[in-house]
Amino acid sequence: MSSLFGRYRRSCLSHRTSSLDEGWKLFKNLHKKQYNSIDEEQLRRNIWEENVQMIQKHNLEADLGLHTFTMKVNQFADLTNNEFVKQMNQLQINPEKKPNQKFHIPSNIKRPASVDWRTKGYVTPVKNQEHCGSCWAFSTTGTLEGQLAKKTKKLVALSEQQLVDCSINYGNLGCNGGYMDNAYKYLIDNHGIDTNDSYPYEGVMGKCRFNPKTVATDVMSYVDIKPGSEDDLQDALATIGPIAVAMDASLNSFQFYSSGVYSDPACSSTVIDFSLLAVGYSTTVDNQDYYILKNQHSTQWGMDGYAWLARNKNNQCGIATLASYALI
């Protein structure tokens, strides 16, 4: 019996190693991973294996009804959570925020049960910030693209690279972080933002190459929504268009989010480190309220680049803490 158990155990271990070998090869090929040395590859594989195990455990628990969302192996699976946060989550909040216009709820508007600005042509395809901490720039362009489409009936992708390169004097740090309000202030003083076609994204900070001849829109002002008010955020989403938002995205549960309504009890409503774009809200068939969030980690992340975040749940992950939009 003991020899039979030993053979069974060796067979299982061999199968597990073979399966992991194939999975690792698939991961590297799919995400075009290349490493500088055998030691580096072994380190990355060890991290990948730990993440795969964690993801499998979470999804088993989700199958048992313990979570409202699933996770998946994505392009970040060879990074530790600390590496992921340091590389991608570089929102830099300005402690010296100056007063600006406030959001006023239209008195004659009844908030609809659901909103999705993608169906109105206000949202550009999912983008990719790559290895650059420029999330703040994508939130800025996202709300501007929505307002421009609303005004002109034309959807035009705007230049994150211009914001990365040119707004350093307003407190932004290129790929090392920034803040949407700082970007708005730069654009107001600069009298506009270029199109993405004329000033394409490179994922590294470079020399400012703004061209006034290719400006897509001017920016007149911006509006900060009442901090922490989900009611105001939802009213703005219902009446204005896509809204720049920020959240605590530091947990590995968000790093590997796949589908469903994201909600994590460890998520902070005050420690905010990442920005993205709210493009609407709705409710699932089993009555879970959620926001529709457009990320900029490519379509390989989440649900083709999107996430659903729990709505009306005590400002989950701080989603209503730093919401804003631009006026053109």
Residue spans of the domains in the chain: they are 21-71, 81-327
Long-range residue pairs from 141-144, CB within 8 A, at least 24 positions apart, any chain? 141/193, 141/196, 142/242, 142/244, 142/276, 142/277, 142/279, 142/294, 143/180, 143/241, 143/242, 143/243, 143/244, 143/277, 143/324, 143/325, 143/326, 144/187, 144/193, 144/217, 144/219, 144/326, 144/328
Task: Please tell me the total number of residues recorded for the chain in this structure.
Answer: 328
Q: For the chain, list residues with pLDDT below 70.
A: 1-18, 94-107
Q: Cα separation of 135 and 111, whole Å?
A: 29
pLDDT at position 87: 85
CA distances to 170, 187, 222, 279 from 179, in Å: 9, 13, 13, 19
Structure tokens belonging to residue 84: 């992921």
Q: Cα separation of 141 and 158, whole Å?
A: 6
Closest C-alpha among 136, 154, 135 to residue 145: 154
Q: Indicate the burial class of 18 (C-beta count within 10 angstroms; 0-12, 13-18, 19 or more).
A: exposed
Each residue's pLDDT tens digit, 148-161: 999 999 999 999 99
Residue holding tokens 């076609």?
197
| Topology classification of domain 81-327 | Cathepsin B; Chain A (3.90.70)
Closest C-alpha among 244, 230, 228, 223 to residue 323: 244
pLDDT at position 258: 98
pLDDT at position 212: 93
Q: b/e for 54-66, b at 16 or more Cβ within 10 A? A: bbeebbeebeeee
pLDDT at position 109: 77
pLDDT at position 18: 64
pLDDT at position 100: 60
Q: Cα separation of 87 and 319, whole Å?
A: 21
Helices (H), 120-173: 135-152, 160-166
Closest C-alpha among 259, 246, 317 to residue 74: 259
Neighbouring residues of 285: CB distance < 8 A, sequence distance ≥ 6: none
Q: Report CA 170 to chain centroid distance, whole Å.
A: 23
